[in-house]
Amino acid sequence: MYEILSKLPIVKQSRQGKVRDMYDLGETVLMVTSDRISAFDVVFPEPIPGKGIILNQIAAYVFKNTSGIVPNHFITDKMEEYPADFQPYKDYLEDRSMLVTKLRMIPVECIVRGYLTGSAWNEYNYSGTIGGEPMPPDLKENQKLPQPIFTPSVKVSEGHDINISYQELLNHMDQFIAEFLRDKSLALYDYGHNYLLSKGIILADTKFEFGTKEGAIFLADEALTPDSSRFWDLEAYNSGKGALSFDKQIVRDYLESIGWNKRPPAPHLPSEIIEQTLAKYREICDIFLGDHS
């Protein structure tokens, strides 16, 4: 479908990201969320059927409900409000796309961690720091942090994104922008954590991306999806059974188990891993959206 949509006269230019296909319409962009899945910054050959619809619905819901915290690029996800050129492709685009404001993206991933897991746990084990900041001794894996921490990473054209400290981020941009990214990311995390905790889910960590237009900064890309977040079952966490996840941790765990070097080419994903991942994505979507989907 990318080849067809990219050749429409209305499309100025197009590009494929790891998961999203972007169609530049001038002042706006049609953003289509595919079923592709990536892990460790590598895209896998097998899609997760229906995953794009789940991601798009969650992101649209979050954009609509957090505009009071920070403005975002969302315009509409209603097909009838799209340009006429896209109407013949409604069966594909409906529920997996949104029309957004065209922004100049800031090449930083704004990661917020509320719990000690993933690469933060690895860093803490090695140096006693998280995001370059000293932390209390004797913290345990998956433990809730004293307070959420902003740990940015810089995006590179190839390979893995590079984790940096907030102080290093200040070397990349104006202090006002860095403070805005940090403060709004922490506020968005608080929204997501509080909202989901009431539904029995822990938001362990998540990442956001931002872009600019005419001097203003907007939340962009996606927000609080299982592609960009770790969601844990609260009951399992409190009972000490481990952090039962509703995200792509199943894929990460599988890749660790086979000893993949985390560099292209990506290995094939077994059908049972695809099915288990999709089931978790559907479950968190139902929990997240409730009656709103």
The confidence score (pLDDT) of residue 293 equals 45
Domain at 105-292, CATH from 1.10.760.10, 2.40.50.140, 3.60.9.10, 3.30.470.20 = 3.30.470.20
What pLDDT tens digit does each residue of the chain (293 aa) get? 999 999 999 999 999 999 999 999 999 999 999 999 999 889 999 999 999 999 999 999 999 999 999 999 999 999 999 999 999 999 999 999 999 999 999 999 999 999 999 889 999 999 999 988 899 999 999 999 999 999 999 877 665 678 899 999 999 899 999 999 999 999 999 999 999 999 999 999 999 999 999 999 999 999 999 999 999 999 999 877 666 789 888 999 999 999 999 999 999 999 999 999 999 999 999 998 985 54
CATH (residue range 2-103) = 3.30.200.20
Token duo for residue 267: 């290995």
Q: How far is CA 275 from CA 37, 112, 245, 258, 282, in A?
A: 13, 29, 15, 18, 11
Asked whether the beta carbons of 66 and 194 are under 8 A apart, the reply is no
The confidence score (pLDDT) of residue 172 equals 87
In sequence order, what are the beta bridge partners of 109? 153
Asked whether the beta carbons of 169 and 148 are under 8 A apart, the reply is no
Asked whether the beta carbons of 213 and 26 are under 8 A apart, the reply is no
Q: Is 16 exposed, middle or buried (0-12, 13-18, 19+ CB in 10 A)?
A: middle
The confidence score (pLDDT) of residue 60 equals 97
Domain extents for the chain? 2-103, 105-292
Token duo for residue 171: 């070397």
Q: Residue 265, preceding bond cis, omega within 30 degrees? A: yes
Question: Cβ neighbours of residue 208 under 8 Å, at least 6 residues apart?
Answer: 109, 110, 112, 184, 185, 188, 219, 221, 223, 228
